[in-house]
Structure 1
Amino acid sequence: MNQPAVQPALSFEQFRQTMLAQGYDEVVARHWKQAEEVEIHTHPFEANAIVVQGEMFLSVQGEAERRLLPGDRFHLMPGTPHAERYTAEGATYWVARKS
């Protein structure tokens, strides 16, 4: 069942400006294809994100898998092992990164 896109409380530009003011280096929109899976991996940067469309599942080492819908946020520190999977509709999230 397709879920309607939820209009975020902020625009991308507002999110970007807020995150840059908090010291993040860059802010990008990530679009994931339907039913895509990303195996366990890490990043050399901190990631602070908000889901704006679709549905995803995030597995962080040592924690239960989380279902994330529009409006849900996630935060990962550098080097945190995690995996992602996306449902049949895919997903979009905005993410601020800090090296």
Structure 2
Amino acid sequence: MDRNEFMRRLRDEGFEQFVTVEREPNGALDEHTHPFEAEALVIAGEILIESGGVTQTVRAGETFHLAAGQPHSERYGPEGVSYLVGRK
């Protein structure tokens, strides 16, 4: 999926805020939550999202979704990660 298609789809679903996030190689964030729903498109690198005992690896061109308040942790691949996230 390309960036424009992703943003168009999310706008149709009510997402209004878009942010590009960059994370360092081999970095991590311990378990946390967000007060917003998030849908993200990985632009480069990879991110591992762990939530509810399940780990999902998301690479460039793939998307992931987190519900508002969903506890999760993050780990970033050896190249780090860059992703475009829509929030609502």
Q: Can you give the 5+ residue segments of structure 1 that lack an aligned partner in the other structure?
A: 1-8
Q: Distance in 2 between matches of 1:21 and 1:66?
A: 26
Q: Distance in 1 between matches of 2:21 and 2:56?
A: 18
Q: Distance in 1 between matches of 2:2 and 2:78?
A: 26
Does the alignment pair 1:85 with 2:57? Answer: no
Q: How many positions carry a matched residue from both structures?
A: 88
Q: Would you tell me which structure has more strand in proportion to its own residues?
A: 2
Aligned twin of 1:26: 17
User: Tell me, what secondary structure is at the counterpart of 2:73?
Assistant: strand
Does the alignment pair 1:35 with 2:34? Answer: no
TM-score, normalised by the number of residues in structure 1: 0.79
TM-score, normalised by the number of residues in structure 2: 0.88
Once superposed, what is the RMSD of the aligned Cα atoms?
Answer: 1.4
Q: Distance in 2 between matches of 1:96 and 1:69?
A: 17
In the TM superposition, 1:11-90 aligns within 5 A as 11=3, 13-62=4-53, 64-90=54-80
Q: Can you give the 5+ residue segments of structure 2 that lack an aligned partner in the other structure?
A: none
Larger radius of gyration: 1
User: In the TM superposition, what is the alpha-carbon distance from 1:15 to its structure 2 partner?
Assistant: 2.7
User: In the TM superposition, what is the alpha-carbon distance from 1:17 to its structure 2 partner?
Assistant: 3.3
The ranges of structure 1 where at least 4 consecutive aligned residues each deviate by more than 6 angstroms after the TM superposition are: none
The percentage of counterpart residues that share the same residue type is: 35
Aligned twin of 2:2: 10
